[in-house]
């Protein structure tokens, strides 16, 4: 059961503090991610150069690492930034995009988890399952497993890594290995907008930058995503307008929208 008062408090904090969220993310998601962070009230930075990734992570409120279009140069930059964020006790969010698609992705995620100790790992069901059963295969970057099935894997992953694990899907599940919360808001059209999952990870970054309880922060971030997606879908006519109305709704998100939309 999501605590509305705490959710509203975190949203107010994001809007008031405008936390600097440092993203080392994929090319597809960068523009959407930056706009979603601006819409929720955060201050996005996309910096991946090995010359400066650690410097940036040292001063940002949170770091979001996303392996969507990973390659060796970027992985090294992620490690540099992640180790810096860790040293400064800034929370890290890991998005293991398409981890089951190729062996390299599994290796990359393993290195990031070991060296950077993410506070939150967010993926779809296939990705979370693949992170646990390293032999698992996914079909590209879209999910072929249901998020419900992934809850057990999420708990194991949370216990193994110490991270809060978020499984996105028609119902989102958030667990720290003991507690499990679910977010029932959302709309199927969200899955047809590219980088919507990556955007969710970035929004988790904004909330975890203002609330040190990564479990609560993740629940609130996913609830914000679901509410805005649901509200946007009311007038969207396809994934084109959906993408834009989603951002508009994230700009508009307030206590009244939470009261109207949040599913208990």
> For 88-213, where are the alpha helices, taking DSSP H only?
103-116, 125-132, 151-161, 196-208
Determine, following the binding rule CB under 8 A, whether residue 59 of this chain makes contact with a second copy.
yes
Q: Is the dihedral angle over the CA atoms 112, 114, 115, 120 positive or is it negative? A: positive
Determine, following the binding rule CB under 8 A, whether residue 132 of this chain makes contact with a second copy.
no
* Measured distance CA(221)–CA(162) in Å, rounded: 19
Which of residues 55 and 148 has its CB atom nearest to a second copy in the complex? 55
CB of 263 to a second copy, least distance (A): 23
CB of 56 to a second copy, least distance (A): 6
Letters for 93-122 (x = contact with a second copy by CB under 8 A, - = none) are: -----x--xxxxx-----------------
**Contacts (Cβ under 8 Å, ≥6 apart) of 97:** 26, 66, 67, 68, 105, 123, 127, 141, 197, 198
Q: Three-class SS of residue 145?
A: coil
Q: Around Cβ 43, how many Cβ atoms within 10 Å?
A: 17
CB of 242 to a second copy, least distance (A): 8
Which of residues 103 and 135 has its CB atom nearest to a second copy in the complex? 103
- The interface region with a second copy, picked from 146-154, 157-165, 200-208, 240-248 by CB under 8 A, is 240-248
Binding site for a second copy (CB under 8 A): 18, 20, 26-32, 34-35, 38-39, 43-52, 55-56, 59-60, 68-73, 98, 101-105, 139-142, 192-195, 236-241, 243-252
């Amino acid at each position: 059961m999501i605590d509305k008062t705490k959710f509203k408090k975190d949203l107010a904090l994001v809007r008031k503090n405008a936390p600097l969220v440092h993203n080392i993310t994929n090319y597809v998601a960068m523009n959407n991610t930056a706009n979603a962070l601006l819409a929720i009230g955060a201050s996005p930075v996309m910096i991946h150069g090995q010359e400066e990734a650690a410097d940036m992570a040292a001063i940002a409120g949170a770091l979001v690492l996303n392996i969507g279009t990973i390659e060796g140069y970027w992985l090294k930059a992620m490690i540099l930034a992640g180790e810096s964020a860790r040293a400064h006790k800034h929370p890290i969010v890991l998005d293991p995009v398409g981890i089951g698609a190729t062996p390299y992705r599994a290796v990359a995620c393993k290195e990031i988890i070991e060296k950077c100790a993410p506070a939150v790992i967010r993926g779809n069901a296939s990705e979370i399952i693949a992170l646990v059963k390293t032999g698992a295969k996914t079909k590209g970057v879209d999910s072929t497993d249901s998020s419900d099935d992934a809850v057990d894997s999420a708990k194991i992953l949370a216990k193994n890594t110490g991270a809060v694990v978020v499984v996105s899907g028609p119902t989102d599940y958030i667990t720290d290995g003991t507690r499990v919360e679910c977010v029932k808001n959302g709309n199927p059209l969200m899955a047809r907008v590219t980088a919507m999952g990556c955007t969710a990870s970035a929004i988790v970054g904004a909330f975890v930058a203002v609330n040190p309880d990564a479990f609560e922060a993740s629940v609130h971030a996913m609830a914000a995503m679901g509410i805005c997606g649901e509200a946007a879908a009311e007038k969207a006519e396809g994934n084109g307008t959906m993408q834009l109305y989603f951002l508009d709704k994230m700009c508009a998100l307030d206590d009244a929208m939470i009261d109207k939309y949040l599913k208990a």
